[in-house]
Amino acid sequence: MTKKYSLSMLILSVFLLFSCENGKKAQKTSAELKSISGNEISVPPFNADSAFSFVAAQTAFGPRVPNTAAHQKCALYLQNKLRGYADTVMVQEFQMRAFDGTILNGKNIIASFNPKNEKRIFLSAHWDSRPFADHDPDAANHKTPIDGANDGASGVGILIELARLLQIQKAEMGVDIILFDLEDYGTPEFAPRTANSENTWALGSQYWSLNPHYPNYNAQYGILLDMVGAKNAVFRMEYFSMLYAPQIVKDVWKTAATLGFSDYFLLENGSSVLDDHYFINRNSQIPTIDIIQHDSKMASGFYEHWHTLNDNLQNIDKETLNAVGLVVTQVVYQER
């Protein structure tokens, strides 16, 4: 996840007028999700154990820092895994300059399903991990790379599991899964701030939003997953998501409530977050939302172990993966 610049809370009208069910106690399995939208639909069963295994496979390479062997090995793993599921897989190779002048070699990995269908949606997450544990409580660790199990790998794990489901049972919509690179190499806390510091984050999505994998690529909307695997995570309605894509937020949060996940998907306005979706909305004009954990009780405003060495596999919770995975799976398969 990028360094998120939490701006002052901006009050938005809450127009999401739907009732919430009994939170986590009312959770359903995919096998039960047949007619939530009013139409009979078949939704394949999302498997949280499978999603967790995909998270574990990424972290097993070690920190996925650009320009390292672990980064290259993980890229090959993700490409090969997605090629086993998707109709087509494209790797968008590019170079971007980091905050310190380092030239970073990036790979955006795009898996497509129903590629001839012009009516499309895209789902995304970032697969690189932070080269600096600059929020670790021990200052000696601030220049140490992190595993990024939650901050990056959790969203990717959910999307690979969804790719597996899409291979088994096609959705009616065309679906693109985009794994962005070079998201988390932004200016660290120990480096001087400049006027360009905010633009040193989300480099892969910045590149893609200006240079899509196909000329004139368009989608009905996009959903970004970031930090979606921590125990007892909560997801508020992020400011830029509400600014650019309020109807998509409404639909996703309504689906979550209907499935019994209102304890995760809170009907509350959240802070603004400078993440991949911001640049996509700004540059591509594709309405895109961010499902991201925000914790106002934490000094950082985010996940307890955000940008620390404790963002590792032991702090990934299958119940959270299941909640987010079920919601996103339902949203995809109910699209017509």
pTM above 0.85, yes or no: yes
Distance CA 24, CA 90 (A): 37
133 three-state secondary structure: coil
State mean pLDDT over 109-138. 97
- Quick: pLDDT tens for 23-46: 444 455 544 554 444 567 899 999
236 three-state secondary structure: strand
pLDDT at 297: 75
Region of residue 241 (phi > 0: left; psi between -120 and 50: alpha; otherwise: beta): alpha
Percentage with pLDDT > 90 across the chain? 84
State mean pLDDT over 235-264. 98
Is the pLDDT reported for residue 173 higher than 90? yes
Q: What is the DSSP string of 259-274?
A: TT-TTTEEEEE-----
Q: What angle do CA 145, 149, 154 make, to 5 degrees?
A: 140
The mean pLDDT value of the chain amounts to 90
Identify whether the C-beta of residue 246 lies closer than 8 Å to the C-beta of residue 281.
no
- Sheet of 103-113: strand order equals 88-97, 103-113, 174-180, 120-126, 222-226, 288-292
Distance CA 185, CA 200 (A): 7
Beta bridge partners of 175: 113, 121
- Quick: pLDDT tens for 192-226: 999 999 999 999 999 999 999 999 999 999 999 99
Distance CA 162, CA 326 (A): 9
Task: Name the token pair of 195.
Answer: 């006027």
Is the pLDDT reported for residue 141 higher than 90? yes
Task: Name the token pair of 174.
Answer: 């065309």
pLDDT at 296: 72
Amino acid at 90: M
State mean pLDDT over 121-143. 98
At residue 298 the predicted structure's pLDDT band, cuts being 50, 70 and 90, is: confident
Identify whether the C-beta of residue 98 lies closer than 8 Å to the C-beta of residue 188.
no
Task: Name the token pair of 109.
Answer: 């990995």
Residue 293 carries which DSSP code?
Answer: B
At residue 301 the predicted structure's pLDDT band, cuts being 50, 70 and 90, is: confident
Is the pLDDT reported for residue 13 higher than 60? no
Higher pLDDT, 76 or 14: 76
Task: Name the token pair of 33.
Answer: 């999700």
What value does the CA radius of gyration of the chain take, rounded to a whole number of Å? 18
Distance CA 328, CA 323 (A): 9
pLDDT at 61: 98
Q: Phi/psi at 265 (nearest 5 deg)?
A: -95, 95
- Quick: pLDDT tens for 48-97: 999 999 999 999 999 999 999 999 999 999 999 999 999 999 999 999 99
All structural domains of the chain: 23-334 (3.40.630.10)
Q: Which of 16-25, 89-98, 306-315 has the lowest mean pLDDT?
A: 16-25
